[in-house]
Amino acid sequence: MADLVFALAARGIELDVLAPHSPGSKKVEDLGSGVTVHRFRYAWPERMENVFYGAGALENIKSKPSKAIKLPLIAVAQAAATYRLARLRRHHLIHAHWLVPQGITALPSCLDRTALVVSAHGSDVLGLQGRLPMWAKRLVARRASFLTANSAATAAALHMLGANPDRVEIVPIGASPRTPEATIPSWKCGFAGEANPLLLFVGRLIDCKGADDAVAALALLQNRLPGARLVVVGDGPERQTLEAKAVSLEVRDRILFTGWLQPADVSHWMRRSDVLVIPSRRAADGTMEAQGVVPLEAMLHDLPVIASRSGGLVDIIRHEGTGLLVAERSPGEIADAVVRMVTNKRFAMGLAASAKKWVLSEGTMAKTAERFHEIYQRLLSGERLIH
Give buried/exposed letters for 259-283 (b at 16+ CB in 10 A, else e).
Answer: eebeeebbbbbbebbbbbbbbbbbb
In the three-class reduction of DSSP (H, G, I as helix; E, B as strand; rest coil), residue 226 is classed as coil
CB atoms within 10 A of CB 232: 24
Q: How many CB atoms lie within 10 A of CB 75?
A: 17
Residue type for position 4: L
For residue 146, the Cα-to-chain-centroid distance in whole angstroms is: 21
- Cis status of the peptide bond prior to 20, with omega within 30 of 0: no
pTM (two decimals): 0.85
Domains of the chain: 2-174+365-380 (3.40.50.2000), 186-362 (3.40.50.2000)
Mean of the per-residue pLDDT values of the chain = 90
Q: Could you give the CA distance from residue 257 to residue 245 in angstroms, rounded to a whole number?
A: 13
- The average pLDDT across 207-236 equals 95
Q: Is 236 left (phi over 0), alpha (psi -120 to 50) or beta?
A: left
Average pLDDT of the residues in 79-95? 94
3-state secondary structure of 118: strand
Contacts of 251 (CB under 8 A, 6+ apart): 215, 218, 219, 222, 230
Element (H, E) at 315: helix 313-316
pLDDT value for 202? 97
At 157-182, the pLDDT tens digits run 999 999 999 999 999 999 987 665 54
Q: Which pLDDT does position 338 carry in this prediction?
A: 98
Compute the Cα dihedral for 298, 122, 307, 372 and give only its sign. Answer: negative
Residue 181: per-residue pLDDT: 52
Q: How confident is the model at residue 194 (pLDDT cuts 50, 70, 90)?
A: low
Per-residue confidence band for 262, with pLDDT thresholds at 50, 70 and 90 = confident
In the chain, the N- to C-terminal Cα span, in Å, equals: 27
